[in-house]
């Protein structure tokens, strides 16, 4: 089983809920919350309740109207770059249908990547995390303003934070390319 730093855990949540690199301010805030003893489950539920998560997954706004299957399929695409398998779909659908929060389920999907050492899913997510953290570091040290007064990313920064992860695969060379583009 892989062990992750707090920064990597938070970056996974940004990928799982927003499909983007973490912004520097938010990354530091959530790392601080983890270090203060807030559980990853509680942080995941906070991410799921955010307007940005609803923008990424309309299911959060309209759970009785939109397909749970489509939501879970989109999570798998964002987190692992692949379609969800039938067993995973049945398992995670049943958990949500039994009353578990969608935030908790997304956190569980992210956590399960840690149990599959050497798997393509683990490599894909790890590569997205590496490129995302590199982007966040670059953004934090840049002279370019990346945040609005309300703490959201500016339009250009938001486009960049999403775009930097677009070419990532399980191949480590895609991280090198993304990091060079970020620099």
SS3 of 9-72: the string is HHHHHHHHHHCCCCCHHHHHHHHHHHHCCCCHHHHHHHHHCCHHHHHHCHHHCCCCCCCHHHHH
**45 DSSP 8-state letter:** H
- The span from the CA of 127 to the CA of 101, in Å, is 27
Q: Which of 40-44, 63-67, 174-178 has the least mean pLDDT?
A: 63-67
Q: Which of 93-107, 120-134, 144-158 has the least mean pLDDT?
A: 144-158
**CA–CA–CA angle 17, 148, 57 (5° rounding):** 20
Per-residue pLDDT tens over the stretch 135-181: 999 888 876 667 666 667 777 777 888 889 999 999 999 999 999 98
Is 0.95 surpassed by the pTM of this model?
A: no
| H/E segment holding residue 158 | helix 155-163
CA 162 to chain CA centroid, nearest Å: 11
How large is the average pLDDT for residues 54-68?
Answer: 89
Query: What tokens appear for 161 in the block?
Result: 């934070």
Phi, psi of 49 (to 5 degrees): -85, -5
Q: What is the structure's pLDDT at 29?
A: 94
Nearest Cα to 144, choosing from 180, 181, 183, 178? 183
Q: List CB contacts of 30: < 8 A, sequence separation 6 or more.
A: 10, 13, 22, 43
């Amino acid at each position: 089983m892989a062990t992750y730093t707090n920064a990597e855990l938070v970056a996974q949540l940004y990928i799982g809920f927003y499909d983007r690199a973490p912004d520097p301010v938010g990354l530091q805030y959530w790392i601080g919350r983890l270090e203060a003893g807030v559980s990853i489950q509680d942080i995941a539920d906070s991410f799921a309740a955010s307007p940005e998560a609803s923008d990424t997954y309309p299911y959060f706004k309209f759970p009785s109207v939109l397909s749970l299957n489509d939501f879970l399929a989109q999570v798998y695409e964002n987190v692992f770059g692949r379609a969800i398998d039938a067993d995973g779909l049945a398992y995670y659908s049943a958990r949500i249908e039994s009353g578990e929060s969608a935030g908790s389920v997304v956190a569980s999907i992210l956590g399960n990547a840690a149990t599959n050492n050497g798997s393509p899913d683990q490599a894909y997510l790890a590569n997205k995390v590496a490129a995302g953290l590199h982007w966040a570091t670059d953004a934090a040290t840049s002279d370019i303003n990346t945040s609005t007064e309300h703490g959201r990313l500016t339009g250009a920064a938001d486009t960049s934070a999403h775009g930097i992860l677009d070419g990532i695969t399980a191949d480590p060379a895609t991280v090198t390319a993304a990091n060079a583009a970020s620099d």
